[in-house]
A and B are shown apart, each in its own frame.
Chain A
């Protein structure tokens, strides 16, 4: 398992988390309420953009967290299995 990759994944998740928190605060500040619910196209562009950015960032954060965990666990299992792999020994010898 490559430690550098684990750190990089963690940093990416933290960066997305920070962006998510900033966008939540911005969404409350700008007042994006209803930007995605309104049936009309007369919604302010700024509100619509912030609402969409917030949703995209939150989806990216959740998927990144889950993917990072999946990747790290898969790497760990692969590393655990490697010494016990009988086909791997002759290749190293």
Chain B
């Protein structure tokens, strides 16, 4: 026993140092979780740099024009959601952030930013409003950002366009036989659709209109038809014709959908997060990670998941931050932030490995409002 003591003491010290590193990396998360004004101001300032930079798809060298366009769009949507959520939490930020939200929307609506969707559909998404083509890849995300902007800033210069986009998509969803519309021609992803579910709920709050019957039908269909019965996770990809499953339950799709759907149905968001906690969320020595695939299933990373390392997905680990804050899971929030700060290289408010997309996502996720905020009034 005496011979083993040095070894045991060394092992304890090893674990303790990792704990200390995790605590140190996760330290800024406490103020973010508590929604402190200065902490939110710091992440907003990091995002200002990218909004002022007037990014284009060329700033994202993924090697694919479609992915460059998608990343630019998601960067803009994340920025708007981050500015909007922090403005709702701290009304003193409202005037400044309203301006930033409109600026970010300008960049998202530029012709070069619409090109990836126009290329896929053969028609420009804004010229195609009122047609039978849903353009979910572009319009669902833009409608979410525009509706948040309208909620924070009712006299936004984009309010009229937001109204037209929502009317276009409402018509498409009312006609959708399986409760979902196509992201690209012949491709349907439930998660992209949930961006519009969130947008419609925000739109109703901003405009005073009532689409609760449609929204209730859409979220109910998502819940009953597109979740894996074993794990409760959302299917990643379904057939555009009949809604049949093409890609099974995944963390990245479930995590992002749970965040978006939180604006429309906090209960469904909570239920999806509970499924993630049961099957995907891990914590080791103070560091939090989230699996891309449920236990017993596996696969490689793709554009949705990012790299999958020992089963842990990069994207879904980030999405977990938003869900932990929305649903009052402080320990998971702090542990997940510790991982993001360590691996992402947090420096001066930016994440060295994240760039504009990483900064944008972290801004939106760390300022996500508690789910009760979105309960029906």
A residues with a Cβ closer than 8 A to B are: 24-25, 27-28, 31-44, 47, 51, 54-55, 58, 62, 65-67, 69-78, 81, 85
Contacts and interface: CB of A to CB of B under 8 A. Distances in A.
7 contacts: A33-B358, A34-B71, A36-B353, A39-B63, A54-B353, A69-B17, A77-B9
B64 A25 contact: no
Contacts of B7: 74
Contacts of A42: 61-64
B342 to A, nearest CB: 7
B16 interface: yes
A88 to B, nearest CB: 11
Interface string B1-32: 01001110111111111100100000000000
Contacts of A38: 61-63, 67
B355 A34 contact: yes
B314 interface: yes
A28 B356 CA distance: 11
A51 B353 contact: yes
B352 A44 contact: no
Contacts of A67: 14
A76 B350 CA distance: 40
A32 B355 contact: yes
A37 B314 contact: yes
B314 A69 contact: no
A66 B267 CA distance: 42
Given A39-B64, A62-B18, A24 B345 contact: yes
Contacts of B18: 62, 66
Contacts of B67: 38-40
B60 interface: yes
Interface in B335-355: 342-343, 345, 347-348, 350, 352-355
- Interface pairs A-B: 10 shortest CB-CB: A33-B355, A42-B63, A40-B63, A74-B10, A27-B352, A70-B10, A73-B13, A70-B14, A74-B6, A66-B17
A73 B358 CA distance: 39
B110 interface: no
Nearest to B64: A40
Nearest to B71: A34
Contacts of A81: 2, 5-6
B96 interface: no
B38 interface: no
B353 A33 contact: yes
Given A24-B347, A69-B16, A76-B9, 4 more contacts: A28-B348, A33-B353, A34-B62, A54-B345
A74 B16 CA distance: 13
B302 interface: yes
B132 to A, nearest CB: 30
B257 interface: no
B370 to A, nearest CB: 29
Contacts of B5: 77, 81
A25 B350 CA distance: 11
A76 B17 CA distance: 16
Contacts of B358: 33
B306 interface: yes
